[in-house]
Chains A and B, each alone.
Chain A
């Protein structure tokens, strides 16, 4: 397939592997955090780790939109569908994420709630048009990549006078999450999470550009390389990060130049800021409350804000006890450190969000990497 196979070519991968092995200094370890679930997925699906020397380690970041949504917001969505009788439209990833007491959208649907899996915001608008007597709520989640289409949908609903359409907005912001991780005691003071550099978001950066990361590179002295989601992008970016670390540089570099510019997509940015504004604070699964890390719908578009249209009850939302998703999302633990991993928690019966999405670290470990762990544990036991 043109424009795809080129970025998955084995001969180039082998050449890059040789270069990485040659340039990675044997007397140190390189801990590289890939922020995005898309990178986690690519690393496991293509077996990128196999092509890395022992001392280059990936730390999986929180960039999986489904994974970081706090249970309370999911419980609210279930309540909208069950108690307020709305047609709840959700992206497919979200359907199987367990809420309080393992209640997921897919279970609520089976019990009679009208929940529809959609592929784009346009599908939600279509459903609203076809059901003028019903309230239709779009369950909006995701980072900066999925925000512009939500903005378009809200503007379109306004233009059409689609009064039965509203958005339950859960859009979050990548730079705030990265800042929060870098500022966390585990990284800053305790040193329990070692991060020598970041593989920066690819699709997110196509919207916001590479500029927002310049602050981290400077303030925290960590190199950032904006990396595409194809496996060769990941490898090339790893090489670029290793070079920065070796040379003592901490800059924002852009490997994904075929898509990302420094300033990003200005049109999309203008659209987003027209419809949305910053929330003072928003809860992230794993990270807790993160200031100015999410968006809400501006007052000018309040008529399409599901949080204003419906009143959801206060509830005692709770994650499964001993689920380590929060620590895994912060990079503090690996999926295999979790007692539930592979025993009670599997993709067929997920206990936490990281086991659901194909971009979640637990799901990626389980689906693509299970075989590595026994071998590794054996090696460690011998050592």
Chain B
């Protein structure tokens, strides 16, 4: 029952706008939590706040007993938490393996980082494109390399920001298998995803945010039956179609 990650009433304010407004939750080792909510609900801002890209206005983030709020992102990464970017923010001047190596340098020397990067690429089935230029990749490939780069920092908590956005159903299944395998190794995830099928299949619990506030949480089944969620989110129709599929 020990919480690996604990967010304690975190808030982010831009000018007068409360992008994240007093959100608290805990994430256990080996758990996958889905973060859902309409566009502009503050999901990406919440991710940025957790990894230190966005300074908190108030609140606290604790990772395995250490307070990480207020640390710079590279320090948070060193403590074991990192994220992927919504629109793959790869280093375009580098090959795939070099992108991943750069992250692996956090815990290894140059030779070790290369080995580590190759392992990670292999795990994600990206070895064939290791030497490719990032500019030549397809969108799904970019998303996977983004994930590989994050994994190369050897995180305990990984925040995935819409890595499946551009994937076909088959590719999505593959990525979900990878995530489940990593979960089995003890890695914890916080996932933002618009595909309800993936969210429902993957997540142990869901957090629902709207206008920066946490409006519901629970198992996927509980959340799907929560009237507040239906009002704020499913009621918009966007997910209604998805629900019909899954």
Partners in one complex: no
B interface with A by C-beta (< 8 Å): none
